[in-house]
Amino acid sequence: MPAMPNTAAFDSPLPLDAQGILELAARSMFQLFSSVSQGMFLVDKSGRIVWVNEGYQRFLPDLGFSSLDQFVGRMVEEVIPNTQMRRVLDTGQPVLIDLLTNRAGTFVVSRIPLRDDAERVIGAIGIVLFDHPETTLQPLISKFALLQRDLDDARRELAVQRKRQLGSAGAGERRAKYTFASFVGSSPAAAEVKRQARRAAQSASPVLLLGETGTGKELLAHAIHAASSRASGPFVSVNIAAVPDTLLEAEFFGVAPGAYTGADRKARDGKFKLADGGTLFLDEIGDMPQNLQAKLLRALQEGEIEPLGSNQLVPFNVRVVAATSRELAALVREGRFREDLFYRLHVLPLRVPPLRERRSDIPALVEVLGEDLALRSGTAPPELLPDAMALLAAQPWRGNIRELRNVLEQAAMRSDSHTIDATQLTRILREAGVEPAAPEPETLSGAPGDDRLLRPLAEQVAEIERRAIAAALAAHGGNKQATARRLGISRATLYARMENPV
């Protein structure tokens, strides 16, 4: 067998060391992509555009820029709607193939992080592989559209099945719409109120939900019913503040045939009768007129009602859950709420914490609310930048989750892209008459003698872990994969910690 020739003897233009080969390959690949792609640009570590090749410049007019100077030097989210380049910079993970749609058109793109010798991300390169993919990649686009349609059909079917399971199995049936899983949050305050509510669900005594507006009192009422022995029975709710005082008695106790002029010839059942065998939710109980409070007290004590215009007593079997955003004890002192009715309802009081006491739950709430808005509107969920998430976490939220949802919905409707930054949220809050509070970094340190340090070690470790998860979620815009990677844990562990904090 002849000996192999000594390659070192040949005058080869190829470098013979590994580093030289890598550098040559990198230059060649960069030149190749620059020449055959439809366009390329570079961003630095902060996301600022620092270079654009000649091919990409033809897209600038459609993006709203008349010159290259207007484009270069700007943050990538400001000039390229719907870009995911920020995610590449945050995670260091490439996106080799993706579809990007904005006012310049639809493109097949790649996003690749750039690293220094220490493997730190120092920037990223964006490559437009194809424009007009509807013609150049018709088979792939058709398959993608088919998969998307199947996914939408599956989502609708799951929603229908869940609706049937929780409340619409039969015509006219009233069922709870939510469970404890619907109450989003793993903060100590959220975990405690869910623990107390689960215990209350196992009792037959009245439950009184206390808390500010928009904290989720009605959701917890549904969940208590769904977890109780009455779950197979009806769940009937009445908002006392929404019913005129003159109609409340008929709404509660029903109307006998021909009880008054113009009344129906048939009897009309009230909410107590409709809820027989299940749960009656009395929302805004603090707004009940005084003349009706005595009748409600008697009904609760005797377990029977007398329909309007009737002399016949009708027994019922109902578990009452009441809720109010008012200070009932203060109303009792002022003589505006009966003391005996207060003690009848105040058997299992549950205080639902305001959002400002569970700020670490805001990233998870934003994700859930964003997905719900997306399903209702048929669009992708909004993506909040880290500065936007930090701004949300700093607000007092007088309207709590209801106000948070309103702000997110406004931001999603007004934004030209799915990316939302702090500037947009600041403008929306100010238009609503709210001066946004500036985000403040939390401190994890404590001085010697600080009472916060004089607690069980496991409790302190759990608190630090919750803060770390909340901070990582905020820094990565709610992206759980990036959060898990930043914290050095698996996504399964992250989900477990969020659902069941130690």
Query: Does residue 259 contact residue 240 with C-beta atoms inside 8 Å?
Result: no
Residue recorded with tokens 């309802």: 345
**Distance of alpha carbon 355 from alpha carbon 437, whole angstroms:** 15
pLDDT at res. 281: 95
**Distance of alpha carbon 174 from alpha carbon 177, whole angstroms:** 9
Tokens of 120: 């730190």
pLDDT at 29 over 90: no
pLDDT at 113 over 50: yes
Three-state secondary structure call for residue 6 = coil
From 197, 183, 248, select the one nearest 225 (Cα to Cα).
Answer: 197
pLDDT at res. 491: 72
Tokens of 40: 């390329």
Average pLDDT over residues 460-487: 76
Count CB neighbours of 180 within 10 A. 17
pLDDT at res. 160: 57
**What is the per-residue pLDDT across 180-191, written as a single tens digit (0 to 9) for each?**
888 988 888 888
**Distance of alpha carbon 438 from alpha carbon 352, whole angstroms:** 26
Distances (CA, A) of 218 to 223, 274, 419: 9, 18, 31
**Distance of alpha carbon 140 from alpha carbon 451, whole angstroms:** 61
Range with the lowest mean pLDDT among 153-162, 188-197, 341-350?
153-162
- For 227, residues 6+ apart whose C-beta sits below 8 A from its C-beta are 179, 180, 198, 201, 202
Query: Does residue 339 contact residue 329 with C-beta atoms inside 8 Å?
Result: no
- 366: Cα separation from own chain's centroid: 3
The helix or strand, by DSSP H or E, that contains position 487, with its residue range, turns out to be helix 480-487
pLDDT at 295 over 80: yes
Q: Would strands 121-131 and 105-115 be described as parallel, antiparallel, or unpaired? A: antiparallel
At 110, which amino acid appears?
A: S
Residue recorded with tokens 């100077």: 69
pLDDT at 44 over 80: yes
**What is the per-residue pLDDT across 403-413, written as a single tens digit (0 to 9) for each?**
999 999 999 88
Distances (CA, A) of 121 to 45, 92, 446: 7, 6, 34
Average pLDDT over residues 272-298: 92
Residue recorded with tokens 């006998």: 256
pLDDT confidence bin for 98, thresholds 50/70/90: confident
